[in-house]
Chain A
């Protein structure tokens, strides 16, 4: 199998990840609940991972909240800042993990920055839309559909100057590009643990400043006699038994990135994406969505084939890609592919130029079948 769907979840994981998961399942109890050896060992392992994350993203350990995925983190962030009918500004490339919670809140959503790969227009449209009555600005760091890297630093500065809270969706960028809640002036940064950080599925991280509110309520192992949720982190946002095996696997994934170098994934993915573009550019029947400010993802459409058809043929050839709307219809609307969807490839650290060659070769086959 040639796996080119790393934006959905990275595969394979480094062997150390499954080893860490297995070790946790056989050596650790429930952390932060009891005081016995197994419970304390579990707590130690979770805290080790919390510290790794804090070091990687330049924040304090207690600002690191473990979540089930980026969607979970975004729901916490959005429900903390946005009330029923509130005004919100988002980019034109948001995932349903942002749009559906806003829809559920009946938020008045202003969508800006609709021009793919165009920072000038994006920055100007955010500048025009951000006013002091906006309850939150929400922006993805990298579009999961097109790999478009948005100007987060600039948007963060605009938010800061108007005193408007800022939420960044780093589902696609964590582990690929530098992420800094402090430098961006963000209130919340949500990310997946199972994508660029190479942790197990079912893991995520939310970096938090003040202003959070609990999404779930329950036992935290702290202040048990009080019925209100703790007002401190991470307890206030981590009720219930945590996913210890997943968190340990996530720690192993981050350790692996540290070993190979944190800039390695971006450099490798960039090289492979550029190689794919070079190989496919001459194909008149394929439209490539590429430009400046792109990372990790290449989307394409076909003149004579539906994307799902092509993905199915590729799958039969042993090549995993992702076709359709990628849970981001807004992005497809902005990028002009709302009617067709796209076929997306997203290489990871284990892919090679040979994998891209095989993909290109199989695409030729798809055209002839």
Chain B
């Protein structure tokens, strides 16, 4: 798995996460949440390399960044729900 997604209900939450990733120099893209990762409609996500996921989530928890769920991109449009 090369690419992971951290989803957020709100763009403000995603931006809080983005600023934190910037502080640590973690490469990422802030984007709209792909449809397979959201049952309730629009949201935003941070796309990053899977090697950075654990560190990013740890920092989000430490800094109370309100992320929603984690997903992995298995390729060919298949995504895996990695939970919270």
Taking Cβ atoms with an 8 Å cutoff, the residues of B that contact A are: 9-13, 15-16, 19, 30-32, 39-44, 64, 66
Q: Is B40 in contact with A225, judged by CB distance below 8 angstroms?
A: yes
Q: A33–B32 Cα gap in the complex (Å)?
A: 9
- Please report which residues of chain A, range 119-163, place their CB below 8 angstroms from some CB of chain B when the two chains form the complex: none
Contact B11 A62 (CB under 8 A): no
* Cα distance, A226 to B11, chains bound together (Å): 17
- Do A31 and B11 touch (CB < 8 A)? yes
CB–CB B15/A43 < 8 A: yes
CB neighbours of A223 from chain B (8 A): 9, 40-43
- Residues from chain B with Cβ under 8 Å of A50 in the complex: 12
Q: Which residues of A contact B (CB under 8 A)?
A: 31-35, 40, 43-44, 47, 50-51, 60-62, 220-226, 230, 232-235
Min C-beta distance of B59 to chain A, whole Å = 16
Contacts of B9 in A (CB 8 A): 222-223, 230, 232, 235
Q: Which residue of A lies closest to B31 (CB)?
A: A35
- CB-CB under 8 A from B13, the residues of chain A are 62, 232
Shortest C-beta distance, A134 to chain B (Å), equals: 31
Which partner residue on chain A sits nearest B16 by CB separation? A61
List of B residues within 8 angstroms of A51 by Cβ:
19
Q: Are B41 and A224 in contact (CB under 8 A)?
A: yes
A47-B12, A61-B15 provided; 19 other pairs, C-beta below 8 A? A32-B10, A32-B44, A35-B31, A35-B32, A35-B44, A40-B30, A43-B11, A47-B15, A60-B64, A62-B10, A62-B12, A222-B10, A222-B43, A223-B41, A223-B43, A226-B41, A230-B10, A232-B9, A232-B13
When A47-B15, A223-B41 are in contact, do A232 and B66 touch as well, CB less than 8 Å? Answer: yes
Q: Are B16 and A62 in contact (CB under 8 A)?
A: yes
Tell me, in angstroms, the Cα distance from A234 to B39 when the chains sit together: 21
Cβ-defined contact, A222 with B11, below 8 A: yes
User: Which A residues are in CB contact (< 8 Å) with B19?
Assistant: 51
Chain B residues with CB below 8 A from A226, complex form: 40-41
Selected contact of B39 from candidates A31, A47, A222, A225, CB within 8 Å: A225
- What CA separation (Å) do A186 and B42 show in the bound complex? 32
Task: Report yes or no: B40 in contact with A235, Cβ–Cβ below 8 A.
Answer: no
Q: Residue on B with the closest CB to A64? A: B12
21 examples of A-B residue contacts, CB within 8 angstroms: A31-B11, A32-B10, A34-B32, A35-B31, A35-B32, A44-B15, A51-B19, A61-B12, A61-B15, A61-B16, A62-B10, A62-B12, A62-B13, A62-B16, A223-B9, A223-B42, A223-B43, A232-B13, A233-B12, A234-B12, A235-B9
A221's partner among B15, B16, B39, B42 (CB-CB below 8 A) is B42
Q: How far is the CA of A226 from the CA of B32 in the complex (A)?
A: 17
- B11 engages A32 (CB within 8 Å): yes
Which residues from A are CB-within-8-Å of B66?
A: 62, 232
Q: In the assembled complex, which residues on chain B have CB atoms less than 8 Å from the CB atom of A220?
A: 10
B19 to chain A, nearest CB (A): 8
- Residue among A32, A47, A222, A224 with the highest chain B CB neighbour number at 10 A: A222
CB distance from A159 to the nearest CB of B (A): 25
A233 cross-chain contacts in B, Cβ below 8 A: 12
CB closest residue in chain A, given B19: A51
Which residue of the partner chain A has the closest CB to B63? A60
